[in-house]
């Protein structure tokens, strides 16, 4: 049996599945249910300053997009940080941590960008006995209008400054949660590291409007006919999150900094992908909000079954394994040649590959062969783009087959080389020529 115990910046949990700071972690009631279900840890719903708590809207705070059978693909919210009294939260955090010592208890915090505010809250949080703190620099709505959340996360200098304050005022590990609503995720990550943060977690939600009501022209979710951009999460944001995790993991300046991967994690497979790209563990919100806490059972079992099948003994065997394979476009091997091949036994003759290639790609798939409806790849036209594979409704029906070195590429008339050559060396690259001169 694979060992899936997790150690993230010294915070130990029986598995790498944490609940992200969000409604599932807003009260002892929910968190206890989560721990009973088997979750390895939680990041408590973001706490604000002492004093009257924030208020939420009293109408819809979620919007969504769905697949045909109402499968929830993306969720959007305009909820703020916790709207419960600070003392109530602290009391509950302390109790739950005492009752569940083996689970990770991280507390998310968001207070104004003044050192005094952080100095005030850190000791009272520390007093709960929690394992660490997460700085919420990500919330893209409401709080950002008040100079907090993503308003901080979008300015690397602020990130560095607040991280430094926190490190100076607490013994606890500091995780900086990043917003994806920036142009290059490496800058805030570097700032967190420079400020002394122990780790980053990402992504928080993506600014979004999920839809427009075409009867009254209100954006969704609609509060009395008006809407405000919310934060987008769930399966739809996973590709964005994966890329951002990889960018930080492979950046020479931040390489090795622990990352807690967040964004659309729904299954054990998603979690494994995040960890392969460099995340030390994962956090989950939307999947739990969609299906309830029970899904963690399958996440735990699925992950260890996969690890057993592949011979991975512990999480360190998989974390970061895919990171070295993420590279810049300019270093991709231009001598690698692949061609689509359609398995005629699996083909159900829907013709989607044909029309996709015909209308929008390279006119490389037949519609008829000898007068019969039949879809075949014409190797002399195929550029190997993979579009047909992606539009084919039958898994495994169309495959991209690499041409072996020494064989003829019928499209270019050139023999496939066994050497590696990339854009930096390509004759069409003006920069390459300049370098050669």
Partner 1 sequence: MSEGRYREGIATHRLDAAEYAENLNDLHPPFDRHEAQVEADRCYFCYDAPCMNACPTQIDIPMFIRQISTDNPLGSAKTIFEQNIFGGMCARVCPTETLCEQVCVREVAEGKPVRIGLLQRYATDTAMKAGAQFFERAPSTGRKVAVVGAGPAGLACAHRLAMHGHEVVVFEARPKPGGLNEYGIAAYKSVDNFAQAEVDYITAIGGIEIRYEQEIGHHFTIGALVLKYDAVFLGMGLGGVNALGGADAQASGSVDAIEWIGELRQAADPGAVPVGRRVVVVGGGMTAIDAAVQARALGADEVTICYRGPRERMKASVYEQEVARSRGVVIRFEMQPSRILTEGGSVSGMEFTRHGETVTIACDQVMKAIGQTLVAPDLGTAADKLVLEGGRIVIDAEGRTSMAKVWAGGDCVNAGEDLTVAAVAQGRDAAESISRALAQ
Ligand X SMILES: Cc1cc2nc3c(=O)[nH]c(=O)nc-3n(C[C@H](O)[C@H](O)[C@H](O)COP(=O)(O)O)c2cc1C
The catalytic site residues sit at: 139
Whether 11 contacts 131, CB under 8 Å: yes
String marking each residue 259-298 x if it binds ligand SF4 according to CB under 6 A: ----------------------------------------
Q: Which of 98, 332, 348, 431 binds partner 1 (CB under 8 A)?
A: 348
What is the layout of strands, in order, in the sheet containing 206-208? 62-66, 72-77, 230-233, 206-208
Angstrom distances, CA of residue 289 to CA of 171, 205, 269, 401? 32, 15, 18, 41
364 lies in the binding site for ligand SF4 (CB under 6 A): yes
Distance in Å, CB of 201 to partner 1, minimum: 35
Residue with Cβ nearer ligand X (2 or 178): 178
Residues 248, 213: Cα–Cα separation, whole Å: 38
When the beta carbons of 149 and 384 are compared against ligand SF4, the nearer one is: 384
Residues that bind ligand X (CB under 6 A): 20-23, 45-46, 75, 77, 79, 81, 108, 136, 138-139, 177, 204-205, 233-234, 237, 262-265, 284-287
Q: Does the bond joining 203 to the residue before it have cis omega, within 30 degrees of 0?
A: yes
Q: Is 289 helix (H, G, I), strand (E, B) or coil?
A: helix
Candidates 398, 396, 379, 380; CA nearest to 388 is: 398
Which residues sit opposite 105 in a β-bridge? 42
CA distance 213 to 231: 18
- C-alpha 159/C-alpha 348 separation (Å) is 54
- Dihedrals phi, psi of 434, to nearest 5 degrees: -60, -40
Asked if 369 touches partner 1 (CB under 8 A), the answer is no
Per-residue contact string for residues 369-408; x = within reach of ligand SF4 by CB under 6 A: --------x----xxxxxxx--------------------
Q: Which does 22 bind (CB under 5 to 8 A by kind): partner 1, ligand X, ligand SF4, none?
A: ligand X
How many CB atoms within 10 Å of residue 313? 12
- Residue closer to ligand SF4, measured from CB, 163 or 382: 382
Most distant pair of Cα atoms in the chain: their distance: 80
Shortest gap between Cβ of 389 and ligand SF4 (angstroms)?
7
Nearer of residues 360 and 424 to ligand SF4, judged by Cβ: 360
- Which residue of 352, 362, 401, 408 would you call a contact of ligand SF4, by CB under 6 A? 362
Q: Is 373 in the site for partner 1 (CB under 8 A)?
A: yes
Contact, 222 vs 60, CB < 8 A? yes
For partner 1, the closer of residues 226 and 372 by Cβ is 372
383 interacts with, out of ligand SF4, partner 1, ligand X, none, CB within 5 to 8 A per kind? ligand SF4
CB 96, CB 19: distance < 8 Å: no
Q: Which of residues 130-189 bind ligand SF4 (CB under 6 A)?
A: none
Q: Of 317 and 358, which has the nearer Cβ to partner 1? A: 358
233 makes contact, choosing from ligand SF4, partner 1, ligand X, none, with CB < 5 to 8 Å by partner type, with ligand X
Query: Token pair for residue 118?
Result: 């952080």
Is residue 2 near ligand SF4 by the rule CB under 6 A?
no
By rule CB under 8 A, what string of x and - marks binding of each residue 55-94 to partner 1? ------------xxxx------------------------
* Strand positions, DSSP E, 281-433: 281-284, 338-342, 368-369, 372-373, 398-402, 408-409, 414-415
* Residue 105, H or E segment: strand 104-109
Residues that bind ligand SF4 (CB under 6 A): 340, 357, 361-362, 364-365, 377, 382-388
């Amino acid at each position: 049996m694979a060992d899936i115990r997790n150690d993230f910046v010294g915070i130990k949990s029986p598995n790498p599945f944490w609940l992200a700071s969000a409604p599932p972690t807003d009260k002892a009631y929910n968190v206890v249910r989560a721990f009973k279900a088997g979750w390895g840890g939680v990041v408590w719903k973001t706490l604000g300053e002492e004093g009257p708590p924030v208020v939420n809207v009293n109408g819809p705070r979620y919007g969504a997009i769905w697949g045909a059978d109402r499968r929830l693909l993306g969720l959007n919210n305009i909820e703020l940080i916790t709207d419960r009294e600070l003392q109530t939260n602290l009391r509950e955090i302390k109790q739950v941590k005492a009752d569940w010592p083996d689970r990770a208890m991280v507390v998310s915090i968001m207070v104004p960008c003044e050192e005094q505010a952080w100095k005030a809250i850190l000791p009272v949080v520390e007093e709960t006995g929690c394992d660490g703190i997460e700085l919420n620099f990500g919330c893209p709505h409401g709080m950002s209008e008040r100079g907090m959340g993503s308003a901080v996360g979008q300015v690397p200098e602020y990130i560095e400054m607040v991280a430094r304050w926190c490190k100076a005022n607490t013994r606890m590990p500091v995780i900086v949660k990043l917003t994806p609503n920036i142009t290059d995720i490496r800058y805030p990550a570097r700032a967190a590291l420079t400020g002394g943060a122990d780790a980053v977690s990402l992504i928080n939600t993506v600014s979004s409007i999920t839809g427009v009501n075409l009867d009254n022209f209100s954006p969704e979710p609609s509060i009395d006919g008006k809407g405000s951009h919310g934060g987008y999460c769930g399966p739809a944001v996973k590709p964005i999150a994966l890329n951002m995790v990889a960018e930080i993991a492979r950046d020479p300046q931040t390489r090795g900094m622990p990352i807690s991967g967040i964004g659309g994690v729904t299954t054990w497979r998603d979690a494994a992908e995040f960890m392969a790209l460099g995340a030390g563990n994962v956090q989950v919100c939307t999947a739990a909000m969609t299906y309830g806490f029970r899904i963690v059972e399958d996440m735990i079992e699925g992950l260890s079954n996969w690890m057993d099948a592949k011979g991975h003994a512990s999480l360190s065997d998989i974390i970061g394994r895919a990171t070295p394979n993420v590279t810049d476009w300019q270093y991709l091997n231009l001598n690698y040649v692949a061609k689509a091949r359609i398995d005629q036994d699996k083909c159900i003759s829907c013709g989607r590959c044909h029309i996709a290639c015909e209308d929008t790609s390279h006119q490389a798939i037949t519609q008829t062969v000898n007068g019969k409806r039949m879809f075949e790849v014409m190797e002399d036209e195929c550029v190997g783009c993979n579009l047909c594979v992606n539009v084919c409704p039958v898994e495994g029906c169309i495959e991209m087959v690499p041409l072996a070195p020494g064989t003829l590429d019928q499209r270019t008339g050139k023999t496939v080389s066994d050497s590696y050559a990339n854009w930096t060396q390509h004759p069409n690259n003006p920069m390459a020529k300049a370098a050669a001169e």
